[in-house]
Amino acid sequence: MLSGKNLSQKVRAMVDDIGYWDYLVGEYQKNEKAARFKYLNIENLIHSIEIWEKNPDNYDATLFTYLNRITLLSRDDLDDDNDKGKVNLMTIHASKGLEFPVVFIAGAEEGLIPHARAIEDNPENIEEERRLFYVAITRARDKLIISSCRKRRHLQATVDCTPSRFLDEIPANLVEYHEPSKELEATDALAYLDQMKKKLTVPGFES
């Protein structure tokens, strides 16, 4: 159990014991850069714990205290009224309990929402995936924008994408579709984005 003193050392020992680096090398055999990037995330986490442990004002260097600290920091960042117009990027799980004037749900495609691995492991997981999508939708107070790709890069290939089955479950009278019939020229694309910006502007929440 990760508790008591020397928390950073225990985290590092755990990472070594489970052979995380070896796992990444095997998982990303053709992309060592991706493996190093993911391992660097762990190194940064351990480094942040080390700095926190060395703080002379820290009298309770336990895992519970550390998790409480980073949770509070995240909440403070979200509640900062002096930083209007910023974008909060987060997973759907992390958005639980929060609300925003405008919400974007990106990647509403089969294989992502619902997640392919969750369905493959157990087809009954579709209900949990549906509830998770509902959580994402209900984070929006005023405007909700859901996007999906026609094509997406996956490993070394380009694959065709299908919109999420959950989109068909939204009442038609609540949805306004925006799908260009042809690829836009650069000038037309800028004009289109300007129109979108005007539509998405929430009174009292201008950037």
Query: Would you mind telling me the total number of residues written for the chain in this entry?
Result: 207
Confidence bin at 21 (pLDDT 50/70/90): very high
DSSP sequence for 137-181: HTTEEEEEEE---SEEEETTEEEE--B-GGGGGS-GGG------S
Q: How many angstroms separate the CA atoms of 100 and 44, rounded?
A: 29
**pLDDT of 81 above 60:** no
Among the ranges given (38-52, 142-156, 181-195), the one the predictor scored with the smallest mean pLDDT: 181-195
- pLDDT(39) > 70: yes
The residue extents of the domains of the chain are 7-76, 87-178+187-200
The whole-number average pLDDT for the span 127-145 is 92
For 117-131, the pLDDT digits (tens) are 888 889 999 999 999
CATH 3.30.160.800 corresponds to the domain 87-178+187-200: yes
